[in-house]
């Protein structure tokens, strides 16, 4: 069996919980040169290999903090959020049961749990 036709997944972790590598199909990703960033360990190098050859090599040289966000960053002009159930709207706490489009009738009848079921 060739490497390209194999399927499966595998993950490699350090005892500290860091993900060092991942394998899926014929592709392996390796995470290397971890450095601290905002209390998290981040890989500064990522290699992706296919069929044993590196096809992608990433070097992360700098990670900047995001600028501080305000609530206005998530506001859409002219849109006012509403909570379901306010002002006579649909009450989201009610359960609406599904209606089947088609019911299947068992060919042998219903015998689930019946002691006299056909054998």
Question: Three-class SS of residue 71?
Answer: helix
In the chain, where the domains are located: 3-40+50-59
**pLDDT, tens digit, 9 for 90 and up, residues 25-44:** 889 999 999 999 888 999 99
CA pair distance 6, 41, nearest whole angstrom: 32
* Three-state helix/strand/coil letters over 12-29: EECCCCCEEEEEECCEEE
**pLDDT, tens digit, 9 for 90 and up, residues 78-91:** 877 666 555 555 55
Mean per-residue pLDDT over the chain, rounded: 77
Give pLDDT, residue 61. 93
Q: What is the phi/psi pair of residue 74, to 5°?
A: -110, 15
């Amino acid at each position: 069996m060739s490497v390209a036709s194999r399927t499966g997944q595998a993950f490699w972790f350090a005892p500290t919980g860091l993900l060092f590598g991942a394998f899926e199909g014929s592709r392996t990703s390796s995470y290397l040169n971890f450095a601290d960033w905002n209390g998290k360990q981040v890989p500064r190098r990522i290699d992706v290999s296919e069929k044993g050859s590196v096809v992608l090599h990433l070097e992360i040289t700098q990670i900047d903090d995001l600028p501080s966000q305000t609530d206005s960053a998530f506001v859409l002009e002219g849109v006012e959020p509403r909570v379901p159930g306010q002002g006579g709207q649909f009450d989201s706490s009610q359960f609406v049961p599904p209606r089947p489009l088609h019911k299947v009738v068992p060919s042998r009848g219903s015998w689930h749990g019946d002691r006299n079921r056909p054998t």
